[in-house]
Structures are given as C-alpha cells and as structure tokens.
Amino acid sequence: MDFIVAIIYVILFIVLMIFVFSIAMLKPFMSKKEMVLVLAVGFFIGALGGAFFLSPIYSEVPEVATAIEKVIPGNEEVLYLDLSSSTDINALRNDLSKIEGVKSFEETGVTIPLWSFSDTEYAFFNSSVPNMDSHFGNYYVNKTDGTVYIALKNYSSSEALKSFADWYKENFDGPINYAQVHVKIVVSSSAYDKVKQTLLQKGIVASSVEGSVQSSIDNSNTTLLSNVQFVAICGGIGLIVSVLGLFFETFVVSRRRFKRFVRRKRKY
C-alpha cells in the first residue's frame, strides 16, 4: 500500500471518531435509551472504520517489518533445498552465483530412498556404506523408511551418488533411479527476494528458511491479531470515544470547579 494512501485511511478513521464524539456530545438532548444507542453506534462505526481503513494497513505490517530487515547491513538468510538428483546442480549454482548477495552454495548431503529394511538388510547397509567411499564417514541408515543419508563435505552429490550407484549395481544388479540432494544457500537479506524468485522460475521452493527476514515473518504471524480481533479492537476504540463524548461536558465542568476550588484555597 502506498504511504500516502495509508495516511489518508488513518485520517478518514480519525474523522469517523470525531463524528462519533460529536454525536455523543449531544448527551443533554438524549434520553438514557438514546445514550445506549450512541454507544452501540460508536462501536459499530469504529469496527466499520477499522475494517475498511485500518485493517488493510495492519495486514501489511509483516511486509513493512521484513522490508526493514532486508535493508539492514549484515543480515543473512539461509535457504535449505531438497532437490531431485536429476536437477542440474552446477547450472543452478552458476545461476545463483551471478546474483549479488549470494554468499555460499553448499551441497550438504544426499538421501537415497530404497525400501523398508529387514534386520539383516539394515545391518548389511549400515556396515557397507562407510566402505563404499572414503568420503562416506557421516551417514545414517533409516530402517523404517528404507533410506540412506550420506553427509557431504568437500564432495559433490554427483560423485557420492556415482559411488553408491556403482556399489548398488554390483550387489543388487540394478540402478538407483532417484535420490534427493540437500543444498544449503547463504544469502544477504537484501538478495533474498531475487534468489527466491530465481528458484521459483526453476520450479524450486526452499524446504525451510532461517534468518532475519524469516524470523520477522514468523514473529509477525504469531503476534499479529486476526482480522476479526483487530476489527473488534477498533470497535472498542469507537466505544471509548463515544463514552468520552458522553461525559466530556461533565469532565469540563468538573475541571473548571476544581480550578476555582484551587484558586480559592490559594487566596486563603
């Protein structure tokens, strides 16, 4: 929303509150039933003004917060991707490296789905994986899911998958048709939108994101009121304004009496 439009909406809401206040100030000409009606009207107008004028502004608070985080120097975002082994990782790396603000692109591991292992098969894979390749020091065999996860350090996913596929072919006489490659990308917060858009153009969505911008989004989602709650609060503001209007004259008269009382006391 444009800043000028937001200012206009706030002014319009204030005008509505002035209108409610003005109606409530007609208390001397009202019966008690009419005073209750004024309170109801104040709540209704406040809620209506909140729904039409303030709610659109309130809904953009997360965007404003994230926009501030993006321009703060030093803020970073970490994107975690789960890619198909058929993805051209090198091409993706090259495309992202052209974006200013991309600090690192790291292949962190591969997950190879097989089948639900029996106890014997589990023991076999668990003992065989570290012997397939000297780089397979950090791995995990999931018996229930039937997957093998291999962490990568200074080793590419293509090399790791080739080593595993060669071993698998020798022992099971079959190919590895699918595997998942895990990638970690570190970018400056200012480049986050551009990186995200580039990934979307390739049909890739980050499985998770960590960083200043994401934290701002998460905090906004957990702390912001729902639209109904916000409108109800605006209605409460209208109700309070109407109450102030109803008792404004009483307040003014009491204030004048108090001032006269204080002056009299000072004279004596």
Residue 267 has pLDDT above 60, yes or no: no
* 252 pLDDT tier (thresholds 50, 70, 90): low
Q: What is the pLDDT of residues 72-81, one digit of tens each?
A: 787 888 999 9
Q: Is the dihedral of CA 250, 256, 257, 258 positive or negative?
A: positive
Tell me, what's the pLDDT at 66?
77
Q: What percent of the chain has pLDDT over 70?
A: 92
Tell me, what's the pLDDT at 258?
62
Q: Looking at the domain 88-203, which fold is it?
A: Alpha-Beta Plaits (3.30.70)
Most confident of 2-11, 41-50, 68-77, 222-231: 41-50
Q: What is the pLDDT of residues 4-28, one digit of tens each?
A: 888 999 999 999 999 999 888 887 7
Domain edges within the chain: 3-64+222-267, 88-203
pTM score > 0.85 for this model? no
Q: What is the pLDDT of residues 94-138, one digit of tens each?
A: 999 999 989 999 999 999 999 888 999 999 998 998 889 888 989
**How far, in Å, are 102, 148, 155, 202, 208 from residue 94 at the CA level?**
11, 28, 17, 13, 22
Query: Roughly what angle, to the nearest 10 degrees, separates helices 227-246 and 32-49?
Result: 140
